[in-house]
Amino acid sequence: MNVKICGLKTPSDIDNCIKAGADFIGFVFFQKSPRHLSPANAAELSDYYDRNYSDSGIKKVALCVNPTDTELSEIISTSKPDFLQLHGIEPPMRVDEIRQKYGLPIIKAIRVKTQLDIKASQQYNFSADWLLFDAAASADLMPGGNGESFNWSLLADFECDLPWMLAGGLNPNNVAHAIAQTNPDGVDVSSGVEASAGIKDDLLISAFVKSAKTSS
């Protein structure tokens, strides 16, 4: 089971994710988020990772929301990601354009309210490398990282040509149940391993990874 911890902000966050056994670590580039990184912050974290964990095999993911090419160029130059996560309403043509231009694999987030959103995700089969199913945010909330879940039974019989992750409202206490119900290729968490908004908790990170790995 692949585990992604998103919204890291400090070198100790990286340390804790490595120690816990995560497979992906996520940096957020969305100014309204409490987990947003400035270019200087992103460069610092990326350099710290490269100095200490470049051989770990853990993938760095840059999360963007409807980014422009100018924004993407800056994000890539400062954070040096292995993956781009597109968490906005980017259509398949735009996703493919980004993948071709920057030569990076894409995780495309799908905001789920109903079964129709699950079915519509298949339009990204030829433009993305992973899908990520997250809860559609309530009014005035961020596109992700809100701690909200959706009806996981919508994914109970889901079949897809791409690997996919489950996100939205996951935490150490419910991730095993979520995996059993949906059988994803990976799980993604942000607020579910935080002591407060944007502040990661090392014990929660460890507990989440352990629960996800042992349930798969």
Q: What is the predicted pLDDT for the residue at 149?
A: 82
Q: What is the predicted pLDDT for the residue at 141?
A: 42
Q: What is the predicted pLDDT for the residue at 140?
A: 44
Category of 171 on φ-ψ map: left (φ > 0), alpha (ψ -120 to 50) or beta: beta
- 157-174 average pLDDT score: 94
Q: What is the predicted pLDDT for the residue at 156?
A: 85
Q: What is the predicted pLDDT for the residue at 17?
A: 98
* Each residue's pLDDT tens digit, 133-149: 998 765 444 454 456 68
| Percentage of the chain lying above the pLDDT 70 cut | 94
Q: How far apart are CA 96 and CA 105, in angstroms?
A: 10
Q: What is the predicted pLDDT for the residue at 187?
A: 98
* Cβ neighbours, 10 Å, residue 47: 14
Could you tell me which of 140, 144, 131 has the C-alpha nearest to residue 65?
Answer: 144
Q: Are 32 and 197 in contact (CB under 8 A)?
A: no
Per DSSP, helices labelled H in 130-196 are 175-182
Q: Supply the mean pLDDT for the chain.
A: 93
- 7-31 average pLDDT score: 97
Q: Is the pLDDT of residue 95 over 80?
A: yes
Q: Between residues 86 and 156, which one has the greater pLDDT?
A: 86
Q: How far apart are CA 133 and CA 148, in angstroms?
A: 12
* Each residue's pLDDT tens digit, 42-81: 999 999 999 999 999 999 999 999 999 999 999 999 999 9
- 139-165 average pLDDT score: 76
Q: What is the predicted pLDDT for the residue at 143?
A: 52
Q: How far apart are CA 68 and CA 34, in angstroms?
A: 21
Q: What is the predicted pLDDT for the residue at 192?
A: 95
Q: What is the predicted pLDDT for the residue at 137?
A: 67
Sketch the domain layout of the chain as residue ranges.
2-215
Query: 0.85 cut: is pTM over it?
Result: yes
User: Domain 2-215 is in which class?
Assistant: alpha beta
Q: How far apart are CA 90 and CA 67, in angstroms?
A: 9
Q: How far apart are CA 46 and CA 11, in angstroms?
A: 9
Give the three-class secondary structure for 194: strand
